[in-house]
Chains A and B, each alone.
Chain A
Amino acid sequence: AQSVTQPDIHITVSEGASLELRCNYSYGATPYLFWYVQSPGQGLQLLLKYFSGDTLVQGIKGFEAEFKRSQSSFNLRKPSVHWSDAAEYFCAVAGSSNTGKLIFGQGTTLQVKP
């Protein structure tokens, strides 16, 4: 069965520092992978997605993610964090039944120190 693990429940970084959020997935075939962000009191917004091609994917708000098949990972990165990036981040993989269902990780809460 497909699954997604986000090993870090909570991360704190200083404003201006670089950021990497980890995501590991379990899936037998080529995965379709997503990163979503949820700002306080809001729904989820898509940051980026991977389904084929270049393994380095660019997203909105200066985020990027790299798909590494050998490590079953899809880590999210940003070179310089802004205070407005404080939010909860979810990694997700599309289910195998092609129904459009997504399987989400547990989420990582990002806190940004001034």
Chain B
Amino acid sequence: DVKVTQSSRYLVKRTGEKVFLECVQDMDHENMFWYRQDPGLGLRLIYFSYDVKMKEKGDIPEGYSVSREKKERFSLILESASTNQTSMYLCASSAPTRAYNEQFFGPGTRLTVL
């Protein structure tokens, strides 16, 4: 059974803290994605990676960075958390580049920044 796991389901942090969100997939997928989900806005792409050590900005990269040192792991980093980064964060992965390949999603991390 394919699986994408995220390190935490719920996280509470304080303004200014450095926050790490971890995502691991066991499907040997090249592509990995980080989304942010907010009510009424759907899913917005923050960053994606199509290979180890490769990354590209998505639609809303400001305030975020990513790291992909191993194929199965993709980390999202909030260098200095702010209250407007309170949100649901979803990680996904997909097989090598095909436009019709589905993305597999993790359960999400609900981050609250106080």
> Contact residues of A with B, CB < 8 Å?
6, 9, 32, 34, 36, 41-46, 49, 51, 90, 94-95, 98-102, 104-107
Contact = CB atoms under 8 A, between A and B. Distances in A.
Contacts of B40: 9, 106-107
Contacts of B45: 101
B24 to A, nearest CB: 14
Interface string B96-114: 0111111101111000000
Contacts of B33: 101
A43 B4 contact: yes
Contacts of B107: 41-43
Contacts of B74: none
A44 B33 CA distance: 13
A9 B56 CA distance: 30
A104 B105 contact: no
Secondary structure of the A contact surface, majority rule: loop
Interface of B: 4, 31, 33, 40-45, 48, 50, 56, 58, 90, 92, 94-95, 97-103, 105-108
A44 B90 contact: yes
A43 B50 contact: no
Nearest to B108: A43
A94 B100 contact: yes
Contacts of B48: 99-101
Given A43-B106, A43-B107, A99-B48, A104 B42 contact: yes
Q: Which 8 A-B pairs rank lowest in CB-CB distance, beginning with the nearest? A: A51-B100, A43-B105, A94-B99, A44-B105, A104-B43, A32-B100, A106-B42, A104-B42
A49 B102 contact: yes
23 contacts: A32-B99, A41-B108, A43-B105, A43-B106, A43-B108, A44-B43, A44-B90, A44-B103, A45-B105, A51-B99, A90-B42, A94-B99, A95-B99, A98-B98, A99-B56, A99-B97, A100-B31, A100-B50, A100-B103, A101-B33, A101-B45, A101-B48, A106-B40
